[in-house]
Amino acid sequence: MSLRKKVFLYILVTILFLILLMSLTSNFLAMKAFEGVERRFFEQDMARVRSRLAEELHIVGRYAFDWGAWDSMYLFMERKEPSRFQEMLDPMSLRALGLDILAVVDTDLSPVVAYSVTETGGEKKLSPEIIAGLKALAPDLLKAASDGYLRDILLLGDDLYLAGVSPILLTNHMGPSRGFLLTGSALKKKIPEIAASLGTRFSVVPAPGAAPAEGSVEITTDSSGMATVRQRWQKFLDQAPPLEIRLTEPREIYTEGRRAIFHSYLWIFLSGGGILLVVMVLMDSLVLRRLDSLRSVSDRIVSGGGIGIRVPVSGDDEISVLSSSFNTLLDTLENLVAEIPDPLFICDPDGRILTANREAHRVLALGKPGELSGKDVSSILKPAENPKETGEDSRTGVIFSSADMFEATFERRDGTCLPVEIRRQEIRYGKRTLVLLLARDLTERKGFEQRLARKAYFDDLTGLPNRSAFIEDLNRALKERNGFGEVLCAATLNLDRFKLVNEQVGNVNGDRILLLIGRRIEETIGEDARLYRTGGDEFSILTPMPAPPRLREKAENLMENIHKAVGVPCPVGSDTIFPSVSIGVVPDIFRCASPSDVVNRAHQALKEAKKAGLGFTSFHYGDNDGSVPETVNILRLSAEMHAGMERGEFVPFFQPIYFADSGAISGFETLARWMHPSRGLLPPSEFIPMAEHTGFVGKIDLKMMEHALRAAGILRRRNPLAPPFFSSNGSPLFFRMPFAEEILENFLAKTGADPSLFTLEVTESLLIENLGEVSRKLNRLKELGIRIALDDFGTGYSSLQYINQLPFDYVKLDKSFVARLFESEKDERLLRTIIHMAGELRLEVIAEGVETQEQLEWLTRAGCAKVQGYLFSRPVPWEDVKRMMGGEESL
């Protein structure tokens, strides 16, 4: 066992022995002392409780003692007239004195007067149980009263009373006794008052069989740190059941004592650990480290012949003198090789470095000389040739092959590499054969070769892989195709009209646009895909895709996202370029025979996309060259929407909103439909997403608002007493229009509609964009008399801040709330809370998506005033609204 381990074990055993000794001595004695102090405190608390109970009994007993000596009470017992007793004592007086029970018993042991006092000072007959208990104790009470008045805690019925008993005598307590008088206060009422004043929790209960002996205090504890203190109550009546007082108190003294002892153990352990650490550090630094250093140098000299190592020398003790002798032997030999200007290494036949000169350390960016000694040369020097071609030994590396000059690479500590040319020469060192290596820097030559290689496979402008890399990756993918349920999709992208862009903004700005579009495409396709620049304005993509049937959907979604990313305008000085891209896609390259087949099919699909117009994607799904690609229209839908708006193809449909309780129509929500000339009536899901992407949705919003205001005006003239309101949606793009409020104000003037009958619905996504600007515009619309509703409440960014700051009149519960209504009690509570909250904020609530009678009944009970959904009606054209409400005018 080493000296370090021995010292460590000796000190550790000493510390453990001290802790064990403390636990056997001080722990036992200290805890006994703490328990003794704790017991005295508990006994003092018990004495204070007994003293206070005795004071209360004295007060109650004095009442009985005084009243029993009244002459009027003595005469009452002679005649026993109830009216005379009321003149002496009434319940209201007893309540004022804090008494709860009064009983007068004659010498025949029959109760003459017996009642309890209510909280309001009324008289209440005693229960049969209390009467029975009183009669059972009457003989003993009469006997005790004949000896003087009695004060004790009595059990009457199920309750304990602080009771005072006195014989009924003449004034000055003379004459024969005519019975006794009992007064009492309910103990259960007095205990909280006494406990609060003393600061001690206690109770008085019937004593069990194992009750403590009279006068002794018994203390029991539990694991929760609480103590129960018990003492038997001294009774005066033999027939009365035994009672005991119980105190429940925390063991604060005992707990603090245990904590203090634990801290003392901890400090002893820490102090011992500190001593152990100091001793170990001193021994290590003064003796062991220096001995290890000397031994290490000796072993390395004997086994490896290293000449650059030294033993640190400090002081003038015996170890220092020995170290100086070692160092003197090595200085002369090391100076012979230190000044060679090229990196030089001396290694043993196994590749271990024995000596390296200063230049070797500088080239390898090592701080101090001698740092390389003892390392395997293969850890810093890697061969540049195939070992099989040079016949190297697999264990030692190419440097020990038959070649005397070869190329290799230095690996520096910071991770950088330095190409070198190595000259090798065997030398004799005593009886050993060593190898000398002399290195020459090849950084400049290798850098030139790497620049040539990168130029062959990467694009200079964008830094993306080029066409050659694309072909290489295709070839590798076709050879290494996997069977994990995925395919590899290839796409070729060509920027539309990029020649015109270059002519407009110049080649320099054109290159900047290419860089920007390349970054956008890279961010869109994700990390699993790879982007290539395969031409001047052409990019290519390789990306994994799920196998059919999900292949088509995923591929089309990715290409649509690329169109959106590329289509974002590019500001160039004072100009703005609106780029677009045509895409040819081969969804599954594994259907192709070769990389050239993939490229040909992608270009064939790209040609079909170019024929269709700008911004198209064409997919090549066929298994042969003659298959016809499919083209997905991206820009045509935008053009058709503009033309459709001019031709009036966007028409309003109205979904009725009903009163939940009566079923009468309250209003209508105006929804957009597109009467497409070739595809028929299109729902919003077919064109609204594209309209939002192109910014066209704001114009659709304006058109629907105009229809809603015109409809509100028509039905108001038809039904002036109860006209329905009309609502319409306002998208974020509508609110970004510069003069949105002025346009709506113009519509109001143009249609003559009552603004209070028009409600503008805004979604929660609008509120997070620019709350200050949105608030200003909504308040302006509110000043015009327009009502504001928060649509799809609860699906996005719902916040009480928005509801509090913005002038909303309605909240519309999203149909997803109603659909999940009966899935769990949590959903019901959430929806009921929202409805209640809206009511407290004086906001009307409209529930969307009501489809069943059960949903309607629940919403009605919850307080939702208005509903809409397929249970009542789907969105209908204006002709159906006229039939519902009456009227002949058209929109």
- Tens of pLDDT, residue by residue over 664-706, are 999 999 999 999 998 899 998 888 877 877 778 889 999 999 9
| Residue 629 pLDDT | 47
**Distance separating alpha carbons of residues 762 and 735, to the nearest angstrom:** 10
**Among 38-52, 270-284, 673-687, which stretch is predicted with the lowest mean pLDDT?**
270-284
Instruction: Return contacts of 592-597, CB within 8 angstroms, 24+ apart.
Output: 592/478, 594/475, 594/478, 595/471, 595/474, 595/475, 595/478
Mean pLDDT of 266-289: 78
Q: Peptide bond preceding 549: is omega within 30 degrees of 0, i.e. cis?
A: yes
| Residue 400 pLDDT | 47
Query: Is residue 106 within 8 Å of residue 77, measured between CB atoms?
Result: yes
The SS3 assignment for 629 reads coil
Query: Is residue 268 within 8 Å of residue 256, measured between CB atoms?
Result: no
Residues 777-786 as b or e (16 or more Cβ within 10 Å = b): bbebbbeeeb
| Residue 395 pLDDT | 39
> Which spans in 543-635 are helix H?
550-566, 595-612
On the question of pLDDT at 407 being above 50, the answer is yes
On the question of pLDDT at 327 being above 60, the answer is yes
| Residue 108 pLDDT | 86
Record the pTM: 0.38
- Tens of pLDDT, residue by residue over 344-356, are 888 888 888 887 8
| Residue 726 pLDDT | 96
Percentage of the chain beyond pLDDT 70 is 89
On the question of pLDDT at 475 being above 50, the answer is yes
| Residue 385 pLDDT | 56
Query: Regarding predicted confidence, which is higher, 35 or 51?
Result: 51
DSSP string, 719-735: -SSSPPEEEEEE-HHHH
- Tens of pLDDT, residue by residue over 844-882, are 999 999 999 999 999 999 999 999 999 999 999 999 999
Mean pLDDT of 379-406: 57
User: Distance of CA 396 to CAs 304, 307, 344, 537, 846, Å?
Assistant: 16, 22, 18, 52, 83
| Residue 394 pLDDT | 43
On the question of pLDDT at 652 being above 90, the answer is yes
Mean pLDDT of 236-249: 82
Nearest to 873 by CA among 845, 848, 854, 844: 848
Query: Regarding predicted confidence, which is higher, 541 or 373?
Result: 541
Of the pLDDT bands very low, low, confident and very high (cuts 50, 70, 90), residue 631 is: very low
Token pair belonging to 159: 């309750």
On the question of pLDDT at 390 being above 80, the answer is no
**Among 492-506, 527-541, 611-625, which stretch is predicted with the lowest mean pLDDT?**
611-625
Mean pLDDT of 136-148: 81
| Residue 320 pLDDT | 77
Highest mean predicted confidence (pLDDT) among 366-370, 757-761, 797-801:
757-761
Helix (H) or strand (E) holding 630: strand 630-632
On the question of pLDDT at 521 being above 90, the answer is yes
| Residue 280 pLDDT | 78
CA 598, distance to chain mean position in Å, is 47
On the question of pLDDT at 836 being above 50, the answer is yes
Of the pLDDT bands very low, low, confident and very high (cuts 50, 70, 90), residue 143 is: confident
Q: 3-state DSSP helix/strand/coil percent for the chain, to nearest 5? A: 50, 25, 30
| Residue 259 pLDDT | 84
Ramachandran bin of 355, using left for φ above 0, alpha for ψ from -120 to 50, beta for the remaining angles: beta
Question: Which amino acid makes up residue 589?
Answer: I
On the question of pLDDT at 274 being above 50, the answer is yes
**Among 195-209, 253-267, 314-328, 514-528, which stretch is predicted with the lowest mean pLDDT?**
314-328
Query: Is residue 566 within 8 Å of residue 474, measured between CB atoms?
Result: no
Nearest to 539 by CA among 557, 520, 552, 567: 520
Of the pLDDT bands very low, low, confident and very high (cuts 50, 70, 90), residue 889 is: low
Question: Which amino acid makes up residue 799?
Answer: S
| Residue 455 pLDDT | 77
Of the pLDDT bands very low, low, confident and very high (cuts 50, 70, 90), residue 401 is: very low
On the question of pLDDT at 887 being above 80, the answer is no
Mean pLDDT of 720-733: 90
| Residue 767 pLDDT | 67
